[in-house]
Structure 1
Amino acid sequence: MDNINKELDDLANEIIKDFKNRQQERKRYEANWQLNINFFIGNQYCAINNNNEVVDFEKQFFWQEREVYNHIAPILEQRLSKLAKVRPSMTVVPFTDSDQDVNCAKVSKNILKATSYKLNLSRLISEATVWSELCGTVFYKVTWNNNKGNTIGFDDGIKICEGDVQIDVVSPFEIFPDSNTYLSLDDCKSVIQARVYNVDTIKDMWGVDVEGKDLDVFTLDSVNLAGGLGYYGRVNKAGKSVKHNSALVLEKYEMPTTKYPNGRLIILADKKIVYIGELPYINKSENKRGYPFISQCSIKNPNCLWGGSVVDRCIPIQRSYNAIKNRKHEFLNRISMGVMAVEDGSIDTDNLEEEGMAPGKVLIYRQGSQVPRLLSSGNVPADFNYEEDRLLNEFLTVSGVSDLLRSSSLTNNISGVALELLIEQDEARLINSAEEIRQAVKEISKQILRLYKQFIDGKTSSKLINGNGSIEMFYWNKSDINSDDVVFETENELNESLAQKRNMIFEIFNSGLLHDENGKLNNSVRYKLLEQLGFGIWENSQDVKTLQIKRAGKEHLMLLDEGRIDMPREIDNHDLHINEHTCFMLSDEFEKAQKRNPKLEKLMLEHIRQHKQFNQIINEKENQHE
């Protein structure tokens, strides 16, 4: 027992030593992230010193102008607003072309939709994109939480849940790879995630008592660094603050090796090992285990795990812009308030410094001395205005973001087609960042399916909300997930704006391609058009024909899944159902299903006969009334 405890203590000390080395190796990147955040929130009088620490600059003179003219924040906000359109829809490719695999792929697609809605994936992507745009890199952590999901029972009054997928956004400050030179996190031999937890949380999660301490964490504060002549201003500052009664938790993930074929996860809480075992999740292809982290970069850097940020490029321009604006205002202060030249001993200079040259002031000077006079400061040099305009244009060039609508000369002298091309070119500069988001969502979707495949036992239910607001419950089990080949269902959203998409729909509509042989637009096509135009909620008007078609489709699924089909109902549109069932029987899907189960044809034909019998009864009653 003593030998085991000694081995655990040695392992804990080894991990702590390794963690401190990784902290030093990553320190210069961390300082860069802090600097970017400071400039974004308005603390722009700071820099990185030789120790890779962010330090603030104080005012050198009391009259010095130190205002912040923040152009980095609106640039980043504009990039975020454009990237907010990137919300890819995912679909699953069937393992084979068999009907069963095709149906499983449809179920897997619905699972992804239901999970995305349940976890509010869109909000998580927005939160992560803020981090990636500021620091260059962010991570998603896809794990399994046994305390989530449907309740399956109680044990001594404690609720037992079936578990569910959990996705967390992890800032780059928490991730420590074994080397910063890898292009991908999966190339790292090991990764450490460091977080500060309250000791009560550690007790609840791992059942271990640890000593609470005061630990430094990254947070925001307010400092007096701005202002000018006669006034002060406060700006936000990103730095360290103290978190009380807390402990540092290190999670070290090691990739599979010959010694540990399933990898290894070691968790330390305040130098105590609270968990040691294999990597918990089969979340990689070919049923392999790996890290639960998925990276998302703003700008990829060669031979480096950490991505770049547009803020890095804008900081030198922002410093120059603040300097030129403040020097300009100092010049205006000299012009408006004046600089007075007086003969030594001719006036009370203390009174003049305290009260200044107030309007109507009686200035008493010594008899025989020269009259005090204001020195001419001239006009503001034109170079100030030229440099200010040049820096504003440089912001647009370096950031890759511009607002074409602000340029009146541009919008007044350009055609609509040319303006549309300029907008496309403007958004094309965000394609790489948008593609990073799409690839991250794709990998998240794969890991979601793999975790459900690993942990779900028996049947479970999910809620699917359609675009028209209708709610549909469906049941599934792990056998329904036989493929994790996830692909994009939509193209990159930045390639086509909503206005372009609507314009294309109107062009197709005007060409007459959507009309039937009688030149009319049927209801199903009409509601599909409304849905594509963004008015899918109008489908709640409950078009009877559309609902009848959906009902017939559900009967087809019941036949394929359960080998049975319900009796026709009086409220059915029997002619419509007969047409839908006939089309279904002529499809390749039914032909393949019939070969596996010859009884399906008999059931389907009997169902169609029943519809025809209902039709005959209705026609006879109508003839009697006539």
Structure 2
Amino acid sequence: MKTKDENDKYEKELVESVLKDFEERQAERKTFESNWQLNINFFLGNQYSFISPVGDLMENGKQYFWQEKEVYNHIANIIELRQAKLSRVRPTLTVIPFSDDERDIACAKTSKKILKAVSQNINMSKILSKGTMWSEICGTVFYKVDWDNNLGKIIGVNSLGNEIKEGDVEVTVCSPFEIYPDSSTYNNVEDCMSIIYARSFHKDMVKNIWGVDVQGKDIDVYSLDALSISGGLGYSTLSNSMAKKVKKDQVVVIEKYEKPTIEFPNGRLIVIAGDKLIYNGDLPYVNKSEGKRGFPFIRQTCIPTPNCFWGASLIERLIPIQRAFNAVKNRKHEFLNRLTMGILSVEDGSMDIENLEEEGLSPGKVLIYRQGANGPKLLSSDSMPIDFKQEEDALLNEFVNISGVSDLLNQTSLVNASISGVALQLMIEQDDIKLSSSSEEIKYSAKEIAKQILRLYKQYAKLPHASRIIGDNGLVELFYWSSSDINSEEVMFETENEINETLAQKRSMIFELLNSGLLNDENGKLTNSMRAKILEQLGFGIWESTQDIKTLQSKNASKENLQLIMEQTIKEPSEIDDHDVHVLEHISFMLGNEFEKSILKNPEIEDKMLEHIRKHKKFKNFNQENKES
């Protein structure tokens, strides 16, 4: 057993080695950071910045007072359009049962409900949108899935009077500035031997979270509140810029995650705040398949790059075009300034030059010049060269060709042309298919996040949890679950083509199905339950007030079917039941695969269901006899 001095020496050496490793990773990643800064600046509108030979971000100011240095930001429009289209990629996930056992099937259904409930609670759509913004601008983003004991419902109070909560999962979007792999040549997170997650906190925040006092210091952090000056002749404009900014009383908190090895079979997590060791132990989360521990990070890229940990951004390809476009537009406006304001030729000593420079040639101005001298005159200027227009149009087309994104409705060639709806739809699909790589990255991230969420609940959710979801029948469903209800982590997609499926396309398909009669019943009519489902799919929400008595009877019969499978009991028929509806629902359930598998486990279920159906028929016959009498 180590003595206190030996432990102190070990901790000091461990902290020094981690800090040294962190500095080396910072140096290795500096080139990528400069590119990310440049991408962010061009997206925000600070487009006169460049990377110096030493890797620092520099800015070009105006060289002359008359110089046009305006920004015509097409990059922001392209990225926002891509984000709007990618926001439709929200895959519906389901869980595959571990086996065909009825218990496993029920657990898989519960796991699917858990994913649906947690997605609503943490607003998964907003998290994916925030992550997609980072990946579109910088090329890479990370999602961190961990467990927070301070979340969830209060389940008790400890001896100190502090609240004890049940805990819950937390999904955090991590920018690429916070992640440091041991090498930038890996293709994914799982290939890394270790990953450092570094953030800057105020020293008081470190005290509140980890309970340690650490001396704060001035730290250079990236900030978006810097300003860049641009403009033209006689005016200036301000735009946001990303640059390093000094923050006081800050502490760098480093979390180093090490992959499981022979020396550390459960991996290792080292947490350091400033120069103090906070934690040194196993990786906390069993978040990988087969009960293994691993990194809690999921990587998402915009454009995958071969043999590189960091993805590429579309902005990197658009920056040269954007610079050329700004140059053409500004030179064009400078030419127009010369054309409209003119260039005055004045004989030396013939006039008061200072007055002329300050006031210019205002309308009605009286020009006084020396007697005998030649009067001032404007130099003749040529008309606007056609080259400006040609180059501007060529650059606009190049924006579309390089980005692969175009706003078809704003293209005059399409507006004035006579194009069929089918051809226009094909053009839209071709335009959207260029986003397939980025959309697949989002779907993969959502799938991996769902897997890690289930594994964390399986590890930590030992106590019963209560969750609410909107069920398939349109009702608010409250269900209880715990870690024992999660025995499968195989997540798959229920939907595939979200990016090509707009609400208008969905509605059009539903109307086509309605006109073809495929949604009608055997009598050729549209049932009330189907009508309610169609209204829901059309985007009008769940109209609970439109549910008729037959819909409610059908839902009640479905609950009885589920009760028989789960509890091996079924309630007696009631006088308020619509026996025809109940009998049809029960027979339909008996003809399904789920019922066949259930009777293999418990043959008595079939006898109970048949007896229940006979009682419904007796009730029906009894009611008919009473009506006849």
- 2:46/2:228 contact within 8 Å kept: no
Instruction: Show the 5 A alignment for 1:408-447.
Output: 408-411=412-415, 412-447=417-452
Task: Select between 468-477 and 327-336 the one with higher mean Cα deviation.
Answer: 468-477
RMSD: 1.7
Partner of 1:525: 530
Tell me by how many angstroms 1:104 deviates. Answer: 1.5
Partner deviation per Cα, 1:191-214 (whole Å, 9 max, x = no partner): 000001122221222211111223
1:209 equivalent to 2:213? Answer yes
Partner deviation per Cα, 1:116-141 (whole Å, 9 max, x = no partner): 01110001011111101000010110
Tell me by how many angstroms 1:355 deviates. Answer: 1.3
Tell me by how many angstroms 1:413 deviates. Answer: 2.4
CA distance in 2, matches of 1:467, 1:409: 46
- 1:66/1:225 contact within 8 Å kept: no
TM-score, normalisation: structure 1 = 0.96
Instruction: Show the 5 A alignment for 1:185-196.
Output: 185-196=189-200
For 1:266, the aligned partner's letter is I
Partner deviation per Cα, 1:1-38 (whole Å, 9 max, x = no partner): 11111111111011001101100110111111111111
Tell me by how many angstroms 1:613 deviates. Answer: 4.3
Secondary structure at the aligned position of 1:494 is classed as: coil
Partner of 1:198: 202
1:622 equivalent to 2:627? Answer yes
- 1:191/1:252 contact within 8 Å kept: yes
Partner of 2:68: 65
CA distance in 2, matches of 1:590, 1:423: 45
Partner deviation per Cα, 1:42-73 (whole Å, 9 max, x = no partner): 11111011121111111101111111111111
Secondary structure at the aligned position of 2:551 is classed as: helix
1:512 equivalent to 2:514? Answer no
Partner of 1:548: 553
Q: Which of 274, 285, 290 does residue 286 from structure 1 map onto?
A: 290
Change in Cα spacing, 1:586 to 1:369, as seen in structure 2 (3 Å) is closer
Change in Cα spacing, 1:252 to 1:224, as seen in structure 2 (3 Å) is closer
CA distance in 2, matches of 1:263, 1:224: 46
Secondary structure at the aligned position of 2:542 is classed as: helix
For 1:546, the aligned partner's letter is T
Change in Cα spacing, 1:428 to 1:587, as seen in structure 2 (3 Å) is closer
1:392 equivalent to 2:409? Answer no
CA distance in 2, matches of 1:228, 1:86: 41
- 2:220/2:245 contact within 8 Å kept: yes
Partner of 1:453: 458
For 2:130, the aligned partner's letter is E
Task: Select between 197-206 and 60-69 the one with higher mean Cα deviation.
Answer: 197-206
CA distance in 2, matches of 1:278, 1:595: 44
CA distance in 1, matches of 2:47, 2:541: 46
For 2:447, the aligned partner's letter is K
CA distance in 2, matches of 1:167, 1:434: 20
For 2:125, the aligned partner's letter is S
Instruction: Show the 5 A alignment for 1:93-492.
Output: 93-156=96-159, 157-411=161-415, 412-466=417-471, 470-492=475-497
Change in Cα spacing, 1:468 to 1:395, as seen in structure 2 (3 Å) is farther
CA distance in 2, matches of 1:539, 1:299: 45
CA distance in 2, matches of 1:266, 1:10: 13
Secondary structure at the aligned position of 2:559 is classed as: helix
- 1:150/1:162 contact within 8 Å kept: yes
Partner deviation per Cα, 1:284-322 (whole Å, 9 max, x = no partner): 111111100001111111111111111111111111111
CA distance in 2, matches of 1:319, 1:279: 47
CA distance in 1, matches of 2:569, 2:464: 20
1:598 equivalent to 2:603? Answer yes
Change in Cα spacing, 1:358 to 1:586, as seen in structure 2 (3 Å) is closer
Change in Cα spacing, 1:148 to 1:598, as seen in structure 2 (3 Å) is same
For 1:70, the aligned partner's letter is N
Secondary structure at the aligned position of 1:247 is classed as: strand
Tell me by how many angstroms 1:468 deviates. Answer: 7.9
Instruction: Show the 5 A alignment for 1:48-63.
Output: 48-63=51-66
CA distance in 2, matches of 1:468, 1:474: 15
Tell me by how many angstroms 1:584 deviates. Answer: 2.3
Tell me by how many angstroms 1:236 deviates. Answer: 0.9
Partner deviation per Cα, 1:465-499 (whole Å, 9 max, x = no partner): 24786311111222221111111000121233333
Partner of 2:503: 498
- 2:532/2:547 contact within 8 Å kept: no
Tell me by how many angstroms 1:617 deviates. Answer: 4.5
CA distance in 1, matches of 2:553, 2:68: 73
Partner deviation per Cα, 1:163-193 (whole Å, 9 max, x = no partner): 1111011100000000011110110000000
Task: Select between 535-544 and 145-154 the one with higher mean Cα deviation.
Answer: 535-544
CA distance in 1, matches of 2:456, 2:58: 45
For 1:179, the aligned partner's letter is S
Partner deviation per Cα, 1:550-577 (whole Å, 9 max, x = no partner): 2111222222222222233333212211
Tell me by how many angstroms 1:222 deviates. Answer: 4.3
CA distance in 2, matches of 1:612, 1:104: 34
Task: Select between 184-193 and 145-154 the one with higher mean Cα deviation.
Answer: 145-154
Partner of 2:87: 84
Secondary structure at the aligned position of 2:224 is classed as: strand
CA distance in 1, matches of 2:491, 2:228: 51
Partner of 1:46: 49
Gapped regions of structure 1 (runs ≥ 5): none
Tell me by how many angstroms 1:548 deviates. Answer: 1.6
Change in Cα spacing, 1:570 to 1:322, as seen in structure 2 (3 Å) is same
CA distance in 2, matches of 1:573, 1:275: 64
Secondary structure at the aligned position of 2:239 is classed as: strand
CA distance in 2, matches of 1:450, 1:224: 47
Identity over the aligned pairs, expressed in percent? 58
Secondary structure at the aligned position of 2:40 is classed as: helix
- 1:70/1:318 contact within 8 Å kept: yes
Task: Select between 146-155 and 308-317 the one with higher mean Cα deviation.
Answer: 146-155
Q: Which of 582, 589, 608 does residue 587 from structure 2 map onto?
A: 582
Q: Which runs of 4+ in 1 moved over 6 A?
A: none
Residues paired across the two proteins, number: 624
